[in-house]
Structure 1
Amino acid sequence: MVQPIRILHVFGGVSLGGAESRIMDLYRCMDREEIQFDFLVHSECVETRKPEFYDEEIESLGGRIFVLPRFKVYNYIQYKKAVADFFKEHDEFALIQGHMTSTASIYLPAAKKAGIPVSVAHARSAGVDKGVKGIVTKILRLPLLKRADYCFACSREAGEAVFGKRWEKSKKSVVLPNAIASEKYIFNGEIRDKVRKELGIEDCYVIGHVGRFHYAKNHEYLLKVFSALHTGMKDRSIRAVLLLLGDGGGMESVRQQAKLLNLEEDVFFMGNKKDVENYYQAMDFFVFPSRFEGLPGTVVEAQAAGIRCIISDKITPEVRLCQLVHYESIDEPEDLWAKYILENASYVRSDMYETIKEAGFDVKEQAAKMEGFYKTGKM
């Protein structure tokens, strides 16, 4: 029996993040008799790593999960050795695709040295964390354009931010949209009613947000926008609620902010959901005030569900696939955001499947393209 080609994807972890979700969407569409995905992730302690959101599904699809120690700068030598040791043992991959670009200049050359034919660095974000961590990340990324065979990016903005201004003119550059399983998000009134009933928000105006609780997502601004909107809706005798889907270290501070704003009864912390597509159905407006992004798949998902969106002008124009998306500055008062939502609160939801597909963001079409790339190593 002919064994499938094995592709190694490198991540910090396989929790429910945007990049991880996009690769899992792709993985589900692969002909797994011909192509299999494996995952190299990072953990504080390799021996005691706890299973993450996608572990079980990866293994059920035939994938393997390998673990490296988390990079801490001060453990550079140990990390480099761990990477080299891993690829001495595992040189069976046809291609390595590194979505964790902060250390890709370390692990991609090690993979090539071990004999893995094709290396890809994949830029997923157009920004970095604040402080020393962000500075170190920028320095570590500097050699990537030279060290990878291909430099993928989810948007032109992300590509330039990670690989430098010469990236787009390079023969290595590829813009690969954050494609989604768009048919899952087609508006469904029955699902909308079911979810809203379960949450007890049938008669409410529902603001939605999907994203991890992290500096980039700017939840503190989101809460201020919602507070202003909450007051405006109250004047119309309508209860506004905010659905926050996602997890992360910043959640507790957002809880405290909701409490200080007297919004704790109207802000729903939903955590991570496997059936996130159902929660989009329950939403009336999608608010996304990020400080930086690559190309947020959640905004694509919201459009696929036919939801009006107001998003930060820091986000690439490439994510606007239709007239549902409005850009606004996060330097403006939050009242301005709330005013826009109030003025555009009423609209008719429609089926956006063909629009998403025509824009190149449907994962089935992308899977066919990527199967060819994984088999040949040529884009």
Structure 2
Amino acid sequence: MRVLHLLPMNKLSGAERVGLLICKHMTGVESFVLTGGEELANVFINEGVEAYPVHFSIKNMLGLTSRLKAFIEEKNIDLIHAHDNLASLAAILTQKRYGLTIKVVSHIHNCYPWLTTGGIIQKIDRWVRPQYDHNIACGKIVFDYYQANATYFKPEKTTILSNAIDLESLESVSTHRVNELKETFNLPSNQTIIGYIGRLSEQKGMIPFIKALPTFKEAFQDCKLLIVGSGEQEDEVKQLVEELGLADLFIFAGFQSDVYPFYQLMDIFFLPSLYEGLPMVLLEAVGSGVPTISMNVGSIEEVIIPEKTGVLIEPNNHNEFVKHLVRFKNDVSLREQVAKNGAEHVQSKFNINEYNRLLKAVYGQIVG
């Protein structure tokens, strides 16, 4: 079987990491990837996956569907696995425009707010979602959210596959590399390192998190906040940190293509997101044994069992989030317990090999 993955972005973020792990570890399937740029394509190529950059955009849809048709015919593709909405739209329009028999799987990676607020994206989804041959929801709560908010959603054409991680690679991080990063970012050994990995975008809730910090600033004098990532809000985040007099607390590491060593630098991982699917960074942090506090959004509660495998905070209350972050920081015993429980939970439930076994079966059912 030959499967084409569509990944419209040009950075290795959550959905892209899912695609990479599928391509690297699935046996008996020949995988190809079209990405939104050379940077991401090279990540796949360096892992031995055949990948090419293309220009994904609504304005370029005619050219994109033409390019997809040519690639499908050249590589004899049996199935398109489209990650998120733009990729899924491009796949189904290619199928319909050229009357292709190829199957299209749409992978839902988020609890999208536009499902409840409406707008043009929701209208497009209402038209195309029923036409996909199959959907994959990245978690049970993501599935439930779609079913509750989209009357056109077809649960019988949807498989729930909670995201999974490569535990072997996560555990084989070089101590030399970790020590090298400590020196590069001048991380003090006598302070608590509270870390975040991910995009700096509105979805991730970094702005309201920072706005809630000044009230509790004194409680973080023995800490550094290590921020790993970039995005459209990066300049705004840094400016806000300066304006609020918090610059001495923050260390910005920028985008990192290999984030695995950074988990070993962190005493606590935090995720203040406004909405999510099932974040790969959360699975990786908890799986690495990093005590984790997160907003209870998307399918995160599949991973974080409150006060057992981490700390969960109800959505959109960033003051409460920071308050409990202080509590978590100060309760070393709780951190040790949830770190142990969390690592065991992720290692038993979210392994990429089992994930790929189930996904391969889904492919087989769809293609026939």
Short-chain TM bin? 0.7 to 0.9
Q: Larger % of helix: which? A: 2
TM-score (norm 2): 0.83
C-alpha distance 14-27 of structure 1, shift in aligned 2 (>3 A): farther
Q: Which residue of 1 aligns with 2:348?
A: 358
1:271-286 matches, cutoff 5 A: 271-286=254-269
Conservation of the 8 A alpha-carbon contact between 2:64 and 2:90 = no
CA RMSD between the two structures: 3.2
The Cα shift of 1:225 comes to 4.8
2:192 to 195, 205, 208: 205
2:61 to 79, 82, 86: 79
The Cα offsets for residues 261-297 of structure 1, whole Å up to 9 and x where unpaired, read as 2222331211222331111111111111111111111
**Displaced runs of 4+ in structure 1, greater than 6 A?**
none
The Cα offsets for residues 329-379 of structure 1, whole Å up to 9 and x where unpaired, read as 3325255234333443454354865432322x1112222333344455369
C-alpha distance 363-79 of structure 1, shift in aligned 2 (>3 A): same
C-alpha distance 81-183 of structure 1, shift in aligned 2 (>3 A): closer
C-alpha distance 136-169 of structure 1, shift in aligned 2 (>3 A): closer
The Cα offsets for residues 108-137 of structure 1, whole Å up to 9 and x where unpaired, read as 15226543432101100102479x9x7222
Q: Which residue of 1 aligns with 2:140?
A: 156
1:331 to 317, 333, 346: 317
C-alpha distance 128-10 of structure 1, shift in aligned 2 (>3 A): farther
- SS of the residue corresponding to residue 195 of structure 2 reads strand
1:189 & 1:350 partners in 2: Cα distance? Answer: 21
**What letter corresponds to residue 31 of structure 2 in structure 1?**
F
C-alpha distance 155-143 of structure 1, shift in aligned 2 (>3 A): farther
C-alpha distance 180-168 of structure 1, shift in aligned 2 (>3 A): farther
TM-score (norm 1): 0.81
Q: Which residue of 1 aligns with 2:360?
A: 371
- SS of the residue corresponding to residue 356 of structure 1 reads helix
1:337 & 1:224 partners in 2: Cα distance? Answer: 15
The Cα shift of 1:144 comes to 3.6
**What letter corresponds to residue 360 of structure 2 in structure 1?**
E
Q: Which residue of 2 aligns with 1:256?
A: 239
Q: Which residue of 2 aligns with 1:269?
A: 252
Conservation of the 8 A alpha-carbon contact between 2:130 and 2:153 = no
Conservation of the 8 A alpha-carbon contact between 2:165 and 2:351 = yes
C-alpha distance 309-148 of structure 1, shift in aligned 2 (>3 A): same
**What letter corresponds to residue 148 of structure 1 in structure 2?**
Y
Q: Which residue of 1 aligns with 2:291?
A: 308
**What letter corresponds to residue 91 of structure 2 in structure 1?**
Y
The Cα shift of 1:145 comes to 3.6
Q: Which residue of 1 aligns with 2:15?
A: 19
2:110 to 102, 114, 125: 125
**What letter corresponds to residue 19 of structure 1 in structure 2?**
A
1:91-240 matches, cutoff 5 A: 91=73, 92-102=76-86, 104-111=88-95, 113-128=98-113, 135-162=119-146, 164-165=149-150, 170-186=155-171, 190=175, 195-200=181-186, 201-234=188-221, 238=222, 240=223
The Cα shift of 1:252 comes to 0.5
C-alpha distance 342-370 of structure 1, shift in aligned 2 (>3 A): closer
Conservation of the 8 A alpha-carbon contact between 2:81 and 2:105 = yes
1:145 & 1:125 partners in 2: Cα distance? Answer: 15
Q: Which residue of 2 aligns with 1:40?
A: 34
